[in-house]
Amino acid sequence: MKSNINDGILITFLDFLKEGIIIVDDETKVIEFVNRFAKKFLKDENYEGKNFKEVIDNDYIYSLISYNQEKDVKAEVNIDNQKYLINVYRIEGKKIIHIQDITPFEVYKQAKKDFVSNVSHELKTPISVLKSAVETIEEEKDPVMIKKFVNIAKKRIEQMDHLINDLLILARLESQEDQVKKERYDLHKQIEEIFEDLKHLTEEKEIQLINQVPNKFDVYADEQKLSIALKNLIENAIKYNKQNGKVIVKAVKDSKYTTITVEDTGIGIPEESIPLIFERFYRVDKSRSRNIGGTGLGLSIVKHITEAHKGKVWVESKLGEGSKFFIKIPNT
Ligand SMILES: Nc1ncnc2c1ncn2[C@@H]1O[C@H](COP(=O)(O)OP(=O)(O)OP(=O)(O)O)[C@@H](O)[C@H]1O
Ligand SMILES: [Mg+2]
């Protein structure tokens, strides 16, 4: 069947592709076509009529084209910190070289591996403590010691419960079914409710919770999800605070955006950790966080929720003085 698509359309289309195409005549070795993406692998953009040996600027691609194979060839190669999948097909006396940048898949594969190993690690520690606590309880006669080990066991169960809950929230956020359902509601009231929920965490260090969101402040967001995000920020502001510290929540609105801030007078975040704290499982300096419960998933949940609202989250912090987290979301 003869196609009536003209060459111009086809060439424009091939130039749009985010994949490389190089066509070489198998007999004369002359390059016949190079699309826009593949031009980065050439020494000279004026390739027309030239032998590929003069023009190809990359040893891997050069050897794949030179390889006199009967069958199609497939290889994964690293070029300038990117990973490419290169397929060489032989079709009607031509060699067609198809180059795909597979770096994002590699990054994804690595992230998945890291995620599974992090989850296993985070579960392994409480499980082994739990196991030895139960064994001790089994042997122990002294009621005081029994109570002590029951408390240890309870704490570890809470830790695992917290991790599983966070993982479920993340999994739900990542699934397509769980979409953002925006509505208008009162942010001041929502902050009051979160403060009430987290009040028990403030007692030990006598942290003061201050709601400076104006009364009846209208916010347009998914009420449940924003509540999860704000709760995580406020919980952090309490957990990483000092004795008699303060947590202040504010909100302002312009014609396009609402910005909510959660500010604390706590320990602050070192500058080099700031780009990392929104990553899953990242916790600043495990030793300082060890005594403070948590798994390092909270801020990645916050980031997820903010981005699902087409918004942004960031932090300004001074070590030893405190941190201020910003959530900025569109009003419509
Ligand atoms: N307000 C804050 N002040 C100082 N450090 C903070 C603050 N918020 C977060 N951090 C640092 O960033 C790290 C990541 O925070 P995140 O909320 O993701 O995890 P977490 O609090 O350790 O555990 P989780 O929230 O999963 O219970 C924390 O471990 C802490 O070191
Ligand atoms: Mg947290």
The pLDDT tens digits of the residues spanning 23-82 come to 999 889 899 999 999 999 998 888 888 988 888 888 888 888 887 767 788 889 898 889
pLDDT at 319: 94
The reply to whether ligand 1 has any atom less than 6 angstroms from the CB of 236 is yes
Which ligand 1 atom minimizes the distance to the CA of 285?
Answer: 31
* Cβ atoms of 75 and 60 closer than 8 Å: yes
Give 32's contacts (C-beta < 8 A, 6+ positions apart): 23, 24, 25, 94
Q: What string of H, E and C letters represents the secondary structure of 224-246? A: HHHHHHHHHHHHHHHHCCCCCCE
The reply to whether ligand 1 has any atom less than 6 angstroms from the CB of 55 is no
Give residue 322's pLDDT band: very low, low, confident or very high (50, 70, 90): very high
Give residue 239's pLDDT band: very low, low, confident or very high (50, 70, 90): very high
* Torsion of Cα atoms, 325 then 235 then 117 then 110, to 10°: -20
Task: From 161, 248, 283, 325, give the residue whose CB has the most ligand 1 atoms within 8 Å, as the site to mutate.
Answer: 283
At residue 2, does pLDDT exceed 60?
A: no
pLDDT at 5: 62
Instruction: Please count the other Cβ atoms lying within 10 Å of the Cβ belonging to residue 105.
Output: 12
The reply to whether ligand 1 has any atom less than 6 angstroms from the CB of 267 is yes
Give residue 288's pLDDT band: very low, low, confident or very high (50, 70, 90): low
**pLDDT > 70: percent of the chain:** 95
pLDDT at 47: 86
pLDDT tens string 108-147: 787 778 888 888 888 898 999 999 999 999 999 999 999 9
Give 162's contacts (C-beta < 8 A, 6+ positions apart): 293, 294, 295
CATH code given to domain 7-101: 3.30.450.20
Q: Which residue has the tokens 């965490």?
A: 201
pLDDT at 291: 64
Q: Domain 181-332: give its CATH superfamily.
A: Histidine kinase-like ATPase, C-terminal domain (3.30.565.10)
DSSP SS3 for 137? helix
At residue 1, does pLDDT exceed 60?
A: no
Give the pLDDT mean for 322-329: 98
**pLDDT > 90: percent of the chain:** 63
pLDDT at 289: 58
Q: Cα–Cα distances in Å, from 203 out to 38, 192, 243?
A: 63, 17, 10
Give residue 225's pLDDT band: very low, low, confident or very high (50, 70, 90): very high
At residue 222, does pLDDT exceed 60?
A: yes
For the chain, domain boundaries: 7-101, 105-178, 181-332
DSSP SS3 for 73? strand
The reply to whether ligand 1 has any atom less than 6 angstroms from the CB of 156 is no
pLDDT at 177: 66
pLDDT at 308: 93
pLDDT at 107: 78
Give residue 281's pLDDT band: very low, low, confident or very high (50, 70, 90): confident
Dist. CA 220 → ligand 2 center (Å): 24
* Torsion of Cα atoms, 314 then 202 then 166 then 290, to 10°: 90
Question: Nearest to residue 317, comparing CAs of 258, 276, 257?
Answer: 276
Q: Which residue has the tokens 């979301």?
A: 329
At residue 275, does pLDDT exceed 90?
A: no
The reply to whether ligand 1 has any atom less than 6 angstroms from the CB of 20 is no
Q: Identify the nearest ligand to the CA of 162 by its number.
A: 1
Per the prediction, the chain carries an average pLDDT of 90
pLDDT at 26: 87
pLDDT tens string 153-187: 999 999 899 899 999 988 888 776 678 999 999 99
Topology of the domain comprising 105-178: Helix Hairpins (1.10.287)
